Amino acid sequence: MNNPLNSPNYGPLYQALDYQFDDKVLFEQALTHRSAYKDHNERLEFLGDAVLGLCIAEMLYEKFPLQPEGKLTRMRSNLVKGDTLASIARELDLGSLIRLGSGEMKSGGHRRDSILADAVEALLGAIYLEAGLEATKQSIAKLFNSRIEKLDPNLQIKDNKTQLQEYLQSRQLPLPEYEVINISGKDHAQTFEVCCKVESMSLSQSATGKSRRIAEQKAAKSILETIHK
């Protein structure tokens, strides 16, 4: 098990977050994957996900006062999706700071998008618990302002399910089918496994996520990647 919290330099991370933790135990928990210790970051991730969604919604509401709900929703989805959070995590070099069990270390867990994205949400959840909403909004603004400035509300940001549906419709093929094949974990931290089937193309891909929606999007993305190979 790696333990980078023994002697790291947290200065760059604190500067990027515009926040420095007083509660080191809480900070360490935010950077601890469930493969490493029982006091891991899943509950903090759950909280951080909710706070992030709220703060990004407010920032977009204020930034784009004339835009309708649909466009605001698409922009928010683009900002809080796993790919974006994983990209932010890499900018913060979180992979070198996350505590992982030996199995996850060997399998490259410090590079995995889902683990990196979850760590970003967990850090935001920890800031919220320690310092409240305003401090968390300040950190979120520091992380996301440059991305928000680049947003074009008129750009149609289509998610993976929509892209897959439109691809099939353009070829007059039946729509994909999504099926939940497994739900694991406790009520507050469930993991959904979903299978996406495109029978007309003999394609089937499964994916997991912390919600059915996320798992469906990831499965659709896998199908699209297979189609476009």
Q: Would you please indicate which residues are annotated as catalytic (active-site) residues?
A: 49, 121
String of DSSP letters for the chain: ---TTSS---HHHHHHHT---S-HHHHHHHTB-TTT-SS-SHHHHHHHHHHHHHHHHHHHHHH-TT--HHHHHHHHHHHHSHHHHHHHHHHTTGGGT-B--HHHHHTTGGG-HHHHHHHHHHHHHHHHHHH-HHHHHHHHHHHHHHHHHT--TTS----HHHHHHHHHHHTT-PPPEEEEEEEES-GGG-EEEEEEEEGGGTEEEEEEESSHHHHHHHHHHHHHHHHT-
